[in-house]
Amino acid sequence: MTEAPGSGGHASPTPSRPAPPRVRLVDVAREAGLSKTTVSAALNGTGRLSPAVREKARETARRMGYRPNATARQLRAGRARLIGYVVGEFAGRPWAYLESPYFAQLTSATAAAALRRGYALVMLPAGSLQSEWADLPFEAVIVADPVADDAVVEDLLAARIPVFSDASVAGRTGAHWVDVDAGAAVRETLDHLREQGARRTAIVLPDSTTRFHQGVLSAYRDWCAAHGDTPRVALAADAGNGPVVRAVDDALAAAERPDALFVVAELSPPLVLEAARRHGYDVPRDLLVVCVSEDATAAHSDPPVSTLSLQPWEIAEAGIELLVRALEKGDEQPSGVLVPTRLLVRESSRHGGGSGGTVSV
C-alpha cells in the first residue's frame, strides 16, 4: 500500500542508470585482498580457513551484496536441479489441467516434494514436445498421466532424458514410475456401494486413454461380470464441467434407473448432487454417490459426498523420492512404486446410520 499508481509507465525518479553489473566472486576477492578460492571456501564453508579470514570474506561479500551466479555453479556441478512437469491429458487445452483439483494438488505436491530435495519444478503445457523446451536444462521430466503411446514420453526417451511417469512406462530404460492400483480402488468402491445396498451402480468416466481411466473401466467391467451385473457406462466426451454434467445426466436418465453412481471424471461434487436432484433422485435414499475427486467441496456439500482420493500428496512424495534417488545414483534401471488410494465415506453413500465404510471424514 505504498503509493497510488498512475496507470502506464512512470517517469524516472532517478535518471536511467545503466544497471551496475552484478558483483562477482572475483570482485569480492579483490576487495577483501584474498583469492577467489579463499572467498569461495569461506562462503561455502568448505576449506580449512582461519576464522578471521573466513569472517572477513563473509563480511565483504555481505557488504558488497554478493550473490553467487547460480548458472555458473550449475555448470560447474554438472547438474541444474531442474525438473520439467507435463501432463498427458488436456492436450486440447494445454493449461487447463490446474483447474482439476486432482492435478492442482498433484502439481503443488510435486513442486513441494521436489523443492524440499533441492529441485525446482517447471510447469510445461500439456501435450507439448521436448523440442519446445530444449533449451532448459532439465535433469528429468515428469509426465503425469500420459495418454496411450504418449508422444512426449517417446520423445523424451529418445532424447535420453529420464522420464518419470505412471506404470505405462514400466520396464523402459531411463523411465521410472509411480502409480495407483486402479483395480483395487474400483473394487473397494463398488464393494462398499454393494454393501450399502446398491445393485445397479453406474459409472461416469472421461473418454480418455489414460492408464488410470482404462484401468478403472476394465476393473468395473470385471467386477460387474463377477457379480452378474450389467455394466452401465456413461462416457464424458471431454474434460470440463459441461461435458461431464451431460454424461452424469445420461447415466441418471437411463430407462433402468441406477441406484448408485460412481463418478470418475472430475466434476464438482455439489454439481453431481444438483444433477441427481434435477432427475428426481434423493441422495442417499434413492441414489448413492461416490466421486473420484480431491475437491474440498465434497466435505461441505449437503449431503457431504463420499470420495475416492487418489492421494496426490503421497503420489508426489513417493515419486519424487524415487526420481531423486535415480538421478543421484545415476540409475538408469527402471523402478516404480504403487501408492494406495483412500476411500472417504461420507453421507452420500451411506444408507441408514451404519458407518459402513473404510474411513469417515
Partner DNA sequence: CTGTTAGCGCTTTCAA
Partner DNA sequence: TTGAAAGCGCTAACAG
Residue 49 binds to DNA (criterion: CB under 7 A)? yes
Cell of 4: 497510488
- In angstroms, the CA 29 to CA 171 distance is 51
Using CA of residue 260, residue 351, residue 195, residue 341, what is the dihedral sign?
positive
Q: At its nearest, how many Å lie between a second copy and the CB of residue 278?
A: 7
Residue 73 binds to DNA (criterion: CB under 7 A)? yes
Using CA of residue 176, residue 182, residue 183, residue 188, what is the dihedral sign?
positive
Residue 69 binds to DNA (criterion: CB under 7 A)? yes
Residue 157 binds to a second copy (criterion: CB under 8 A)? no
* Candidate residues 54, 56, 81, 346; the one interacting with a second copy per rule CB under 8 A: 81
Q: At its nearest, how many Å lie between DNA and the CB of residue 34?
A: 4
Place of cell 523402478: 335
x/- mask, a second copy, residues 105-144, rule CB under 8 A, reads: x-xxx-xx--x--x-xxxxxx-------xxxxxx------
Which of 299, 295, 311, 313 is CA-nearest to residue 348? 299
* Candidate residues 30, 31, 64, 68; the one interacting with DNA per rule CB under 7 A: 68
Cα separations (Å) of 350 from 34, 156, 199, 361? 74, 46, 14, 13
Residue 11 binds to DNA (criterion: CB under 7 A)? no
Q: Are 305 and 269 in contact (CB under 8 A)?
A: yes
In the complex with DNA, the residue whose CB is nearer, 134 or 148, is: 134
Residue 75 binds to a second copy (criterion: CB under 8 A)? yes
Residue 177 binds to a second copy (criterion: CB under 8 A)? yes
* 7-26 binders of a second copy (CB under 8 A): 7-10, 12-14, 16-19, 22
* Candidate residues 39, 49, 245, 260; the one interacting with a second copy per rule CB under 8 A: 245
Within 13 Å and on the Cβ side, how many CA atoms surround 258? 30
Partner interacting with residue 43 (select from a second copy, DNA, none; CB below 5-8 Å by kind)? DNA
Residue 237 binds to a second copy (criterion: CB under 8 A)? no
* Candidate residues 55, 75, 242, 328; the one interacting with DNA per rule CB under 7 A: 75
Partner interacting with residue 211 (select from DNA, a second copy, none; CB below 5-8 Å by kind)? a second copy
Cell of 116: 524440499
Partner interacting with residue 64 (select from DNA, a second copy, none; CB below 5-8 Å by kind)? none
Residue 333 binds to a second copy (criterion: CB under 8 A)? yes
* Candidate residues 47, 171, 280, 340; the one interacting with DNA per rule CB under 7 A: 47
